Every structure is written in C-alpha cells, then in structure tokens.
Structure 1
Amino acid sequence: MIENHRRGPDPGLVTAARAGDGRALEQLVAHCLPLVYNIVGRALNGHADVDDVVQETLLRMVRGLPKLRDTSAFRSWLVAITIRQVRNRESLRATDRDRRARLEDAEVLADPDLDFAGLTILRLGLTEQRRETAEATRWLDPDDQELLSLWWLEETGELERADLAGALGLSDRHAAVRVQRMKKQMEVSRCVVRGLGADPRCARLDEIAAPWDGTPSPLWRKRFGRHIRGCGECAGLERGLLPMDRLLSGLPLVAVPASLDPARVLAHVTASSGTPGTPGTSGASGASGTSGTSRGRHGHPGRRVRRAGRAVSKRVVVGGSAAVAVVAVAALVAARLTAGPAAPVAQTAPRPSAPVTVTSPSPTHSSSLSPSPSAKPSASPSRSAKPTPSKHTVAPVRVASSARKGVGVWSFDGVSQALAASGASWYYTWNTQHQGVTTPGAASFVPMIWGAASVTDASLAQARAQGPYLLGFNEPDMAQQSNMTVDQALELWPKLMGAGKVLGSPAVAYGADTAGGWLDRFMSGAKAKGYRVDFITLHWYGGDFRTPQAVQQLTSYLASVYERYHKPIWLTEYALIDFSQGTRFPSAQQQADFVTASAKALDALPYLQRYAWFGLGADPSKPSSGLFTNGTAATAAGRAFQSAR
C-alpha cells in the first residue's frame, strides 16, 4: 500500500491491523518506528531510556488500536501517545530523583552513548550550518526539547502543525508562540556553537569558558549568550546564518538503531500485551511473564537497572525463556516472522561465542610497514627497490566508492595520485594536517590528535579548521605509541572536545571489548565526568589468514565492542598481519581476498560508520598490507580495495 508521510500510513493498512491482520500490524509498526524513535530521541536528547519509551509507546499503540475510530487520524493519535509517554517517563524519573536524591544524580545526565544531536550529525552527514543547528539542540531548556522534537519533524515534512499542537494540547496560536520562543533559544545556541568553535576564539569568551566542563547546558547557554550579545568581537557571529526552516527542510529521519529492529520490537511489544485480534494473544501474554522483566520495565520506564556501577541497557533479550516468548509470539503475528528452535530471531550484534584471540598491536611498530606516528607521521616507508614489472597485463579495475571506505596515509612518491585512484572517500595521517597530500579533494581529510604532546594550541586550531570530525589519541595502551594513562587522557579530553565537533574515542590497540580494559576505564571515566565521546575508534589486525575465519573474527570483535558501548564505530586501522611471532604477512592473494570479503561484511554492519585500511603505501621490496607502491601501481590488495564497496 502507498503511504504518505505527510498523512501517515494508508487508512486501509491501519484498518487491517486493527482487525487483527498480523502482516498489516507488522507493516504498521515498521512504518511508525522511525517517527516515534525520532520524537522520543530528540525529546530526551538521547537518554538511555529512549529504547524503553519507544517500545512503551508502541505497546500503548497496539493496546489502543481496537478503540481507534478514525483511521485517517492515526498519525496524530500516535504522536499524542508518544508525547504522553515522554511526559510520563519524565514525571516518574523526577519522582524517583526526589526519593533517592544523591543516589541517582547520574540519571539527570543524558546518556552520552545515545546523544541524539551526535547521531543526527553522524547518520545524516550534515553540512556546516545544518551541523551547527543539530549541535545547538544540546543547549536547549528541557521543556523545549519536547517541542523541538515535534517542530524539527514539522520542518522536515514528517508532521503538520496540527499534529504538533494536538500532541502538546495547545491551540494553533499558542503552539506558534511556543515555537517562536524555542527558535529564539536555538538562534542563541547556534551563535554559542559558532563562538566556541571560532578560530581564533574571542579572548573574553575563553575566560568565561575556563571553568566550563565542555557539556552543553541551558545555564552555560545563557552565560555565553549574554557575553555574545554585548561583545563587539562576537557581534558578527550571527552574520550569514540561514533560517532554520530552510536548513531542515527535506532532511530524512535519523535511522533507527539495530536494537530497535521492527520485527524484534513487534515481538517484544506483542509479548507484553498481545496483538489485538490475533490468535494466541493470551499465550503471548503468558510468555512475556516468564521473562520476569517486560512488565516491570514497561511499568517503570524511568527506572534503570544497574550492575557493578554501570547502567545496563534494557534491550530485547533473545535467549532462554525470552527467546521462546519472542519466537512464539512472532510466529503468531506474521507468517514471515515464523521461526522454530533451529532458527531463533537473529541479533544484529551478537557477542562472539569465544574470546577473539587475534587482536594484535598496531603494525606502526614496524618500520618496514609504515611511519612511526609517534615521531614523524609524514615519514615514508622504505623504497629501496623498484616494483618489478608484471609479465602479464592486469585488467583495468573498476573503482568503486563508498562513504565508509577510507585509508591511513603517509607520504610516498605519488601519494596524492594513489589516494585519488584508490576510491577511498576519506583518509587520515595520524596528524592534524594533510602531511604531503597535495590533492586532498580526492577524499575528505579527518584530523587526529595523536598523543599528549599533540595537545597544543596550534594542533587544536588545525583540528578545528579541518573539522567536523576528530580522532582521539592513537593506541594510548601501547608503550611504543602514544603511551598514556587513562587519567592523563581524561585530563586532556576537554581540550579535544573543544576542537572536535564529532569526536572519536582514543583508539586502543586491542581489548576494546574487555571489561576493565583501557578503553572501558576511559569510557567509564568520561561518562562519570559528563564528557562527550561521539563514536568508538578501533584497530584490529588478524593473524588467521583464512578469509572466512578472519572476517568472522573481525566482525565478532566489532559486535562485541558495540554491545559494550552502544555507540557508532570507526575502524581506523585493520589488515591481516600476524604479530604472534615477529611479523608475518599473508600472501598477496590472501590479503586481497580479505579486503574484498571484509569490505562487504563491514558495509553490512549498521553501527559501523567508517573503516580505514592500513595503509595506502606499500614497499615493493617487502611483504606488506599496503595498497599502492607508487601513484599508479596498485598491489593485489590495492586492486581489491579499488573494487570494494
């Protein structure tokens, strides 16, 4: 059935779902999920309760669907339910906070794992002023976050003003007044974002920001805004700002995360309430009770489950009795959801069945492979021998592009030409500058603050100028690399927050999924301090040169890391290199096969934002994982990389 986002789903689809058609209900949930997720995510600014409130909203929708008389009013009805659930959650959370006072102080903070402004920037790839607008949402008063969630969707064409006013219980005129007040806050916030990101920054603004911890808040918006209004140097910040309605017009919805897959959400919702008119409803309700979690979770959407001092995200659990409930209900809801014991509902990001054993220190330790970023990121690999001409003509390679595909780059003869020929959409140099790449337009450049010594005013200014992305410290867990303690990294992190609009975590050499490991302690410390980490940066090297096994080990590691932090991931170094006994490389064909298979697997992971092969340059006289020996001569891995999507 044709669906009009302006009017909501086709009334015929709603009527069929209301009558008990399981397939129609599945389609209806899939249609509603992006809208509900975007309203809740922005209203709560990505708090850890977002998933719970989304599922609770859909639960209320399923329960109330038989009583909906006018199917053409479905969308307005759903939006009103969504806002009511947001308010209920806020009310319960406020009551909880009053009862427990200091014990739950941490719950006041938005969960940095799910910051919605960061997700908007990362997933939609916003241009400069759109990105500034998304960042400005972090500075709003809590009351205006709810209004913003609806107004943003109105401006992007997903809702109408009647939906906005009806959901808030306001007249059109009163809603217009509220929107104008919120837009004024947004304009001030946009100027604050510009002022703090200016290079050079106003000296007086720097003084005011000295005690600021880097976390946006209404209080600091007012302080910064007061200065900007009265400062001659900052007076021009609003010059050239486009109207927000023009900036937001036509933007798509932020993609729903894998944890809210429609089929899994529907199975969970129907397990909690039963599908209206669907056979076996009572059995579904009973199944949900066996898990012992659904009722309590939905009854108290503001409550959090804690284990060992860490917030545990309440995801749909597929395993044990819960798996039985999910599979049983899914079989009743729709024929294409049927799954027996041999085919349980698949998890998007399963943890590996055994610990990943192939994660090695970075090959940046080997001078034959690459520069040593700790000293001279621009140094080139050895080129003592010329490439041997091939006896056979190599067929031309069709270069494929992918927004995710990137590469680590250092200087060598023809580096710019090789980068352009590689098909990489982005690159980095372990530095804040291009490092000899004279045609950076071939791919977008991402700066890195390599280590403690790189945290200088000059480097931070260069990073800001190259933004919006910034990569954090390089392998701080390795003595041969940036070699930093967790405390040292946390102490310097606010400076990186000021330089990088979208900031990646330090990239550990290994063990990113290990409880109590370097990255785990850093992320826990950042969360406790309210520091911003927008995505996780990882390195991975495999010593098993069999392609299927290597790809499985890599994707399992990524899945394991995602399950721990629930943040987007950038894989900024990866290749097949075995460090267990010295340094051992696979054959050229094995490396090429892995490039092809791994690129396909990585592009299928919804939480993997970008990946970068190590690296662009190759020494023709030695084995390596490099892609080009000069500007035009691609290795077998290089040709595979060119074709990879």
Structure 2
Amino acid sequence: MAPPLPGVRTVRAAQRGDERALADLASGCLPLLYNIVGRALNGHADVDDVVQETLLRALRDVSGLRQPRSFRSWLVAVAIRQIRDHHRSRPPVTPLDDVPEVADPGADFAEATILRLSLSGRRKEIAEATRWLDAGDRELLSLWWLEEGGLLERADLVAALGLPGPYVAVRVQRMKERLDLGRAVVRVLGERDRCAGLAALAADWDGRPAPLWRKRFARHIRGCTGCSDRSSDLIPAERLLASLPLVPVPPALAHPSPGAVGTRAWHATKSRSLPVKTLIAVPLAAGAVAGLVGFATTGRGGERSAAASRSAVAASSPATADPTHRPERTPAAPALVPKGHPPITRSGGSCLKGVATWKTGGVSPALRASSACWYYDWGADSTGITAPRGVEFVPMIWGAGSVTTATLAQVKARGRTLLGFNEPDWTGQAEMTPAQALALWPKLMRTGMRLGSPAVAADGDKPGGWLDEFMKGAAARHYRVDFIALHWYGTDFDTSDAVARLRRYVRAVYARYHKPIWLTEFALIRFGTPKVYPSGREQAAFLKAATAMLAGLRGVERYAWFALPATKDGGTGLFTAAGAPTAVGRAFQGLPRTAP
C-alpha cells in the first residue's frame, strides 16, 4: 500500500526545514521511486543504490524547487536523471541488438511484480513481456505504467523526459508496440504445442529474454498463421496496467544491511556517520530524517536527544492522518470487471451536475435556482419537493429496512436509475456487512433499473475494504452493478491539494472496477466535535475547481454536492432557508449542468 505523495503544504514545510514534513516527504516518495527505478533497471542489483541516491538528492535539493506544486514532476525527473547516470556509469557493452540482455528470472522486477501482486493470466503475461524490452523502453514503461495507474500524469512524463508532449506520445506509442510484441512472444513460447518453425527457431535461443530475440520471434509470429492467431486477442495494455498497484517496497529497502543496499552506498553513508537504515526505512522517523537532512545539506549526520526523537516520531504518526479519506492508496488486485457489463461512457450533453438534499422549507425554489439537472434525497420518493421540469429525481434504497415490496415498487415508478445502500460501512448509516448487502441485492436487480453500488463513506479504492468485498461477491455471483457510487470529504482546505486528492481517489476507484463513477456526496469538512469548515470563499473555490476536474475526468458520469440546503450544514449548503444562495451556492449556480 503506497503512502500518499506529499502535498504542496508538506513540500513548502520541508523547504523550510520542518522535520516532520521531511519525514512525510521521504516516506511518501519511497514507494513511487522504487517502482520507477525498479522497472527501469529491471531489478538490477543497483536498484537500492539508485533509489537511495535519488531520495538523498531530492531531500538535499528540494529547498531550491521554485514551484512546490510541481514537486511530483520534479521528483520523477530527478529519478530519471539518476537512472541515466547509472546507465552511463556501467561499462560499455555491444549494441543491444547484437547481444542478449541477461535477466535473472529469480530477481528481476517482472518476477517481483508477479510474485508480490499474485498475478495470473493476462496480467502475468504483460509483466513477463517487460523482460523483452530494452533499457530505454523500460525507462519509459516505468513512467507510463504509473500514469495508467493514476499515480503520474502525462505532464510528469514530459518533464521527466525533457521532450515536447507530441514526441512523448510518439515514444509511448512505439514502446507500447514493442511491449505488445513481447506479449505475443510470451504467449506463443508458453504454448506446449509449438509449431515446427517456432521450435526450430527456439532451438538456438539460450532462454534469456532479449530485444534481438524479440525481433526474431516477432518476425516468425507475423509470418505464421497459427502463432499469429494465438496472439491476436491481446487486451489493450492500458486496461491491464491501470488496475495494477505499486509493487511493495521489499524488505531489503525497508530494513537494509550493507550487503542489501550495495557497498558503494553503504560506505558513502557510513563515512558521514548516518546509519543507512535510517535513510530508507518505511516509514521514516522524523528523528532519523534530521540526520538525513544534515547529511544531505552539510555532509554530517544530525544529532538529537532520544526524547526529542520520540517526540518527533509521535508527531508524525499515522494518528494525524486524514480519517475520512485515503485516495492515494491503489488497488492491490486485478480490476473486478464482470463479463457482460462493459463500461458505460458519458456522452457530451448528458446530465452531470446534481445535489443531495433533504426536505425543508424553501427546498423546491432552491432546487430550481441551483440549475442542477438531477437530485436525490436518500429516499424512495421525493414527496415534499417539487422539481422543475427536466430535473431528474434518482431514488435510493437507503438500507436493509427499505428492501420491501412496497418500497421497491415505489422506486420503480419514480425513475430509471436506482442508488444502492447509503454508507453501509459507516456506523449510524445503513451499517451492513458486504454479505448482508449481497443477500438483498437480487431484489434490487429485479426492479430492472440501472443500478448503482452501495455508496461507501471511505476506502472505495482499498483492497479488502467494504466496497472491494461487495464487488468481489457481486462478480462471483454474476450480480449486476452498473456504476459505482462514492462519497468523499476532504479535510485539506487548500484548493489545489484537495482537488488533487479527490482526483487520485476517483481515478483509483475507476481503475479498479472500470465502471462509471457517481460522486453522490462531496465537500470540504473536517469531521469532529465540532465540525470544522473552510471559509465560504475556500469552499466555493474548491467546488469550482473540483467540478471542472470531474467534468473532464475519464469515468466520471455524475456528481452531487452535499448539500442543497444550508439549514443543517452552513459550511457546505448552497441556499439558506430564505432562498438566498450562499457563497458556495453562487459558485454552484454558475456551473454547467451537462457534460462537455
């Protein structure tokens, strides 16, 4: 499970020398760096050294970063420079087309991916195909793989490679073509009954994946009808890679020894009185980072008292993490896409902007003034709310007690789409186990309505979480789930950071299930006693930026702001009881109703 990448505030604090921020910076960067370097070097023995050197350089140079918002792109560029420096430092070899590129199947990164993520079938095949790429393609693949998984953006690739966007697109396309050739080679070589021509060609092969042999086997496949047919049904690589998580950081990096991290790096750190395990432990303790910062900036290991170290470690403990949101976590298993239910794509002009509301005075005129194109009230009907013409009501089966013949007939009469259970993973809401929800699901399916998943309060992207267990059970039983409903509340009131977190969360969920996303509750709130809200201006800024992001994000079909009335939640409501729009209400009124 990958810790979240640092936000702008963390980067700025680290630039000022804040030790807790530096700890977050180091521990948040390590999994991403390991995956970039590991794939680019294909598990070479120097992976640990290159990761360590990249982390040291990042911590040493972060103070000079002019735009903290570009930290991720800058970090990726630093990693790529270190990878290329590593390639240049190795002894010259004959051109790649002339010699096989030796890979140790017991130690390379493809094997790590297969074993640690328990891959099988098509995903195992694509991991094995990476062995057939040359060094330059593996470097690009390491970035593109993470882009498809939602952890990097194309801008990060452009910054890291130092090339214009169109050139990067061409390079990615060519790399994908060679990856597909590698997949075809893996497929045909894995067949027991190889054709005579392939068997004769393979007789001279030493069993080691190499670009030269990829070309030779690919030439045979193109000219052989049987081999070509066997490799003609390749699923697009994007669909397979998007659902794969980061490969976990291995123990050798998390708890290294001199032999594990490499002699050169070990002596480099020993000479500066800094124990190497403090550099790359996961997560890094703040006290250890103080020493690391001293090493990175002055060449000396920092010293501090044991009491101060314990205090700093406590200050950076997971207890301070956002309790309602973990969007940076990525799925740790293949996407759950039941057969027969392909993703539904949003078409231009389709309904997008919606609101969640409850029945209260003035709600009908507020709904009209909001210009929303759809709404729901957590119930089976909208009695007490008069909706303007053209505004769709979407009913919900709130919990187990709502699954009655009368209620199901009621929702069927009110619309074509049905929302599933409300926050079954949350105490005080529907509060159901995945097994209980699955037992009732066939009754919802029998309405014949388009059916949204239960809307979990949090961890929709978490392997083994409530939604994950429900979707696994639905797939095993061939139950129909047409789209995923999510709730999200951000506790970071910085607009850019909050939007980035929401975007990563939605992308991770979509990558896992490949079903349309309905974000049926979202806003900025820090839950507690009492609740804490941003200012009206901050909430409005987030709403405008978040909805602009959602409108252009692949997989997002609809969203609904929480909530229309300001009678209970003054910090998020759009309209007062008197019908006047709040600051966030005025921002909502100006949003487009439909998808671009």
TM bucket, shorter chain: 0.3 to 0.5
TM-score normalized with structure 2 length: 0.45
Q: Give the TM-score, by structure 1 length.
A: 0.41
